[in-house]
């Protein structure tokens, strides 16, 4: 179903567009876009000095550009700013960025012509994905420039998955290259669309991952014979936290009716912290998630062009400001990165407790024939290596340095870098949780004769076994890891109870 912009987009809207839904503007939004475009036209006619309209950009902001050169300035900005390098962003990531950019233009303070937005919306509708290198952006400029190249028939794009030149891509979807007007080049590279689109996608993936993390933890807790008293509602209420209460409720729902948990009652005074503090760690991550999601929505509701145009064509107002800087967004992405890295690290510790014969009470490394079989011994190494990667990646990007544009841009908030490494942490976390899920299912195979699983965990176990069979050192284990990572990435966890509560 088409996502229509009337009020500001939400991160959920951007996530929907990222997976293939088209994007359109309401009549009111088109009216805002047209009015802002007429304001820029009037600025050009009157010669009112305006950054990026009739001046250079960055450190060249005091250099006046004559009227005949203003369209050339817009084109030149695109060419000179297309400095990205390295692997390409995924189609889903590029779609998210384009959605956020259209959302920014739809506020009606950028001044681009409606044709710019129509072309970008056609990219989304007709599966024309600009090829955007993932590296080289200290803020937002380079990623956006590579999308803008295709608008003018330059660069490259993939149309329905086939890579071709920007000119051929436009022809393939029935469009002609645009000749940019005053300010349009700057508007196309400016703003926080790149960081906001990537952050919206990251928030969507984080919500999905945290749902799975809660479910997988329950399967491990049951296999480990957890002491459920630590998750009592009244006990958890001693530490006020919406996230903690949510996770506690989920664990109780998922583990209700477990014969394995009942058989383990009183076996230990208390469990190890990687088991006992699941509501605390996962709950903290949910609390950080909610705050990050709010800030991404705040960014989508913000005008992030510099300059912003307002007023009327008769009385135009051009405001040079710093709305293209997004410290709050960078800090929020950094915070969620830490939270997801911690959830993944705890997952690796739980997985180790299942395979470690010193504490598991299960066959060493969950091997079907310990000695001749290694079981999940090296799978734990993989989880540990990915967790260590996350630890390094979780260092805050928002504190990175960097002076650009001849000291004109002497503070950088790095929200794009923060969002990019958050996405990488999510990639690693999906694999780590998939490995825990794989190990937990194998542990349950050894416990099948001891007692019954809870209905909520049995559905989870069945989902695993529908993808991968019991492991007996009879195939490369990474294939199972990839299968279960796909399960996590592409589907929601099975319901906690028959009613879906």
Kindly report, residue by residue over 282-335, the tens digit of the pLDDT. 999 999 999 999 999 999 999 998 889 999 999 988 888 888 889 999 999 999
Instruction: Check whether the bond before 307 is cis (ω within 30° of 0).
Output: yes
Confidence class for position 67, pLDDT limits 50, 70, 90: low
Position 187 pLDDT exceeds 90: yes
Ramachandran sector of residue 457 (left: φ over 0; alpha: ψ -120 to 50; beta: rest): alpha
HEC string of 53-100? CCECCHHHCCCECCHHHHHHHHHHHHHHHCCCEEEECCHHHHHHHHHH
User: Which residue in this structure is represented by tokens 């807790």?
Assistant: 221
Q: Please give the pLDDT value at position 202.
A: 98
Residues 409-429: pLDDT tens digits?
666 778 999 999 999 999 999
Map residue 119 onto helix, strand or coil: helix
The C-alpha angle 261, 263, 268, rounded to 5 degrees, equals 80
Q: Length of the chain in residues, anyone? A: 501
Average pLDDT of the segment spanning 162-190 = 95
CA distance 441 to 462: 9
pLDDT of residue 182: 86
- What is d(CA 90, CA 423) in angstroms, rounded to the nearest whole number? 11
User: Residue range 200-225: average pLDDT?
Assistant: 98
**Residues labelled catalytic:** 51
Question: Has residue 199 got a pLDDT over 80?
Answer: yes
Determine whether 305 is exposed, middle or buried from the number of CB atoms within 10 Å of its CB (0-12, 13-18, 19+). buried
- Gyration radius from the chain CA atoms: 26
Distance CA 199, CA 14 (A): 10
Top pLDDT among 1 and 86 is at 86
CB of 142 closer than 8 Å to CB of 82: yes
pLDDT tens-place string over residues 244-280: 999 999 999 999 999 999 999 999 999 999 999 999 9
Residue 464 has pLDDT above 90, yes or no: yes
User: Residue 213 phi/psi, 5° resolution?
Assistant: -60, -40
At 326, give phi and psi (nearest 5°): -135, 70
Residues 6+ apart with CB under 8 A from 82: 142, 145, 146, 148, 149, 154, 155
pLDDT at 1: 87
**In the block, residue with structure tokens 């009470």:** 361
Q: How many CB atoms lie within 10 A of CB 345?
A: 21
* pLDDT computed for residue 52 by the predictor: 67
pLDDT average, residue stretch 448-464: 97
Span of 28-32, 252-256, 370-374 with lowest mean pLDDT? 370-374
Residue 317 or residue 154, greater confidence = 154
Average confidence (pLDDT) over 388-402:
90
Domains in the chain with CATH codes: 3-191 (1.10.275.10), 199-303+324-490 (1.20.200.10)
- What pLDDT, on the 0 to 100 scale, is given for residue 413? 79
Average pLDDT of the chain? 93
Mean pLDDT of 456-462: 98
The whole-number pLDDT of residue 497 equals 78
CB 243 within 8 A of CB 286: yes
Average pLDDT over residues 336-357: 97
- Name which residue leads in pLDDT, 307 or 97: 97
Closest CA to 433 of 207, 200, 220: 220
- pLDDT at residue 306, as a whole number: 87
Distances (CA, A) of 217 to 20, 264, 329, 390, 435: 32, 17, 30, 19, 12
């Amino acid at each position: 179903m088409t996502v229509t912009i009337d009020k500001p987009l939400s991160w959920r809207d951007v996530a929907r567009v990222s997976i293939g839904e088209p994007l359109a503007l309401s009549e009111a939004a088109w009216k805002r876009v047209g009015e802002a475009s007429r304001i820029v036209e009037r600025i050009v006619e009157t010669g009112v000095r305006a950054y990026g309209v009739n001046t250079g950009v960055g450190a060249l902001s005091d250099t006046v550009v004559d009227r005949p050169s203003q369209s050339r300035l817009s084109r030149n900005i695109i060419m000179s700013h297309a400095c990205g390098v390295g692997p390409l962003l995924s189609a889903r990531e590029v779609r998210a960025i384009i959605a956020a950019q259209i959302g920014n233009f739809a506020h009606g303070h950028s001044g681009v012509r409606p044709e710019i937005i129509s072309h970008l919306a056609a990219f989304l509708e007709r599966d024309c994905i600009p090829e955007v290198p993932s590296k080289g952006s200290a803020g937002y400029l380079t990623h956006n420039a590579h999308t803008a190249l295709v608008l003018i028939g330059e660069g490259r794009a993939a149309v329905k998955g086939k890579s071709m030149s920007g000119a051929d891509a436009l022809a393939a979807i029935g469009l002609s290259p645009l000749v940019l007007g005053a300010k349009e080049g700057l508007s196309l590279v400016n703003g926080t669309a790149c960081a906001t689109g990537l952050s919206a996608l990251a928030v969507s993936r984080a919500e999905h991952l945290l749902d799975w993390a809660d479910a997988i933890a329950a399967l491990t807790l049951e296999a480990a014979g957890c002491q459920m008293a630590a998750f009592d509602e009244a006990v958890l209420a001693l530490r006020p936290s919406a996230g903690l209460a949510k996770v506690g409720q989920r664990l109780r729902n998922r583990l209700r009716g477990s014969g394995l948990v009942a058989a383990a009652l009183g076996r230990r005074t208390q469990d190890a912290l990687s088991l006992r503090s699941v509501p605390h760690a996962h709950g903290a991550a949910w609390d950080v998630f909610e705050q990050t999601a709010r800030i991404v929505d705040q960014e989508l509701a913000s005008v992030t062009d510099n300059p912003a145009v307002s007023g009327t064509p008769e009385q135009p107002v051009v405001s040079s400001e710093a709305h293209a800087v997004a410290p709050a967004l960078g800090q929020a992405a950094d915070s969620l990165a830490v939270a997801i890295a911690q959830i993944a690290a705890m997952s690796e510790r739980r997985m180790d407790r299942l395979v470690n014969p010193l504490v598991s009470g299960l066959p060493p490394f969950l091997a079907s024939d310990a000695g001749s079989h290694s079981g999940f011994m090296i799978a734990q190494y993989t989880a540990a290596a990915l967790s260590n990667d996350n630890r390094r990646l979780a260092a805050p990007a928002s504190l990175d340095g960097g002076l650009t544009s001849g000291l004109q841009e002497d503070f950088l908030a790095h929200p794009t870098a923060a969002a990019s490494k958050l996405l990488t942490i999510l990639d690693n976390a999906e694999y780590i949780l998939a490995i825990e899920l794989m190990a937990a299912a194998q542990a349950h195979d050894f416990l099948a004769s001891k007692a019954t699983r809870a209905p909520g965990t049995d559905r989870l176990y069945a989902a695993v076994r529908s993808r991968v069979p019991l492991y007996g050192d009879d195939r490369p284990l990474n294939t199972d890891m990839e299968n279960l990572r796909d399960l996590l990435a592409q589907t929601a966890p099975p319901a906690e109870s028959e009613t879906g509560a």
